[in-house]
Structure 1
């Protein structure tokens, strides 16, 4: 792994915000999901949630521009499953919804552990999501259109969260589990070896501060051994 690659991956890991997430409530268009994932990666979100009861979720690699390698998408069949995870992480649930109790999305304190929930353009968020909401928010609009594309609305809210968190100096402090960081450093810094490990069933090695593989002779011997699944020439 080059020093530049190591620095970039470590910078990404140092800026991830595991207590900030986005939940897409029955958003069906894969290009919208992929666009949200791409923005989530850009502002340091570690994982996103998607409630999709009926359709198997697929994310377009072209639209996400590889962001799905860095941002994990967790699928739920019901919003209650997502809400239970948010509760365990002590996250406030912020739901976009046109209602009398909705406030400007910028009035929310996103420095707190937060799950931002958005629905599709036609139906909005589900009644179940609203029932779990700690706050309902809206994005002020003074034109003729009454709704934004979900990926645009998500981007506005995520960047407001980033703005607040930067002011609070919440970036630049590694908060992720070290085992996860080691996995990402190996998979993204040594992708050929990582692929071989998965193919041969070899445990991932440790990565040292210089980005180099730390493994004993036995590990290297197993790595150099012929692939048992390879077809004979």
Structure 2
């Protein structure tokens, strides 16, 4: 890995926001899912959570986003998992108790729930949320496309977190194991893919961005490459 690439990946790791995330409940259209994941990555969200409507959608998403997506079997599994981490859970839903999305404190640990394009959030999901949020509308329409809505909300979260200094850090909020995984997969994608196929352990990346491996690891790797 070149020094420039190592510096870039390290910079990205330092700005990851593990305490901010989105949860997709049965979002159906691949282009919406891709747009949401792209926006999430752009503002430093480390992992997106989801329950998928079909296995096909799940397969398409995993092929594009891989380990940045955490799949749950049910909405209760997902929300309870997030709440055990101390997250406030916000549902994008028009209701009598809903507040303007800009009035929320996103410097707190936060998960934004996004519902299916046609039917929105399920009753179960809404019951589990701590608060409903809306994007004010003054035109004829009552809602935005789910990927557009997510962009508005997530960039408001980024704005608040930037003001609070949550992006200005000397070190990553991710644990060391996760940082090492991302350094290896991002800095040495070919080695990472072959190692995964071969069942070899992930290598350590030193503070210069270089891999640290024993001779027998390289021997096993070379044997894999020749196959």
TM-score of the two chains, using structure 2 as the length reference? 0.92
> 1:150–1:217: structure 2 CA closer, same or farther, 3 Å change rule?
same
- Please report how far the alpha carbon of residue 58 of structure 1 lies from its aligned counterpart in structure 2 after TM superposition: 3.7
- Please report how far the alpha carbon of residue 53 of structure 1 lies from its aligned counterpart in structure 2 after TM superposition: 4.5
2:29 aligned partner: 29
Report the secondary structure of 1:23's partner residue.
strand
Cα separation, 1, equivalents of 2:60 and 2:197: 24
2:213 aligned partner: 215
Cα separation, 1, equivalents of 2:195 and 2:117: 43
TM-score of the two chains, using structure 1 as the length reference? 0.89
Question: Superposition RMSD on alpha carbons, in Å?
Answer: 2.0
- Please report how far the alpha carbon of residue 123 of structure 1 lies from its aligned counterpart in structure 2 after TM superposition: 1.2
- Please report how far the alpha carbon of residue 147 of structure 1 lies from its aligned counterpart in structure 2 after TM superposition: 1.1
Report the secondary structure of 2:224's partner residue.
coil
Cα separation, 2, equivalents of 1:59 and 1:35: 14
Structure 1 moving runs of 4+ over 3 Å: 53-56, 58-61
- Please report how far the alpha carbon of residue 36 of structure 1 lies from its aligned counterpart in structure 2 after TM superposition: 0.2
2:164 aligned partner: 168
1:131 aligned partner: 127
- Worse overlay, 198-207 or 126-135: 198-207
Q: Does 1:42 align with 2:42?
A: yes
Residues matched between the structures, number: 224
- Please report how far the alpha carbon of residue 193 of structure 1 lies from its aligned counterpart in structure 2 after TM superposition: 1.6
- 1:163-197 CA distances to partner (integer Å, 9 max, x unpaired)? 00000101133110111111111111112221221
Report the secondary structure of 1:227's partner residue.
helix
Gaps of 5+ in 1: none
Q: Does 1:159 align with 2:119?
A: no
Say whether the 8 Å CA contact 1:111–1:168 is kept in structure 2: yes
2:95 aligned partner: 99
Cα separation, 1, equivalents of 2:130 and 2:226: 52
2:108 aligned partner: 112
Report the secondary structure of 1:117's partner residue.
strand
2:15 aligned partner: 15
Say whether the 8 Å CA contact 1:33–1:59 is kept in structure 2: no
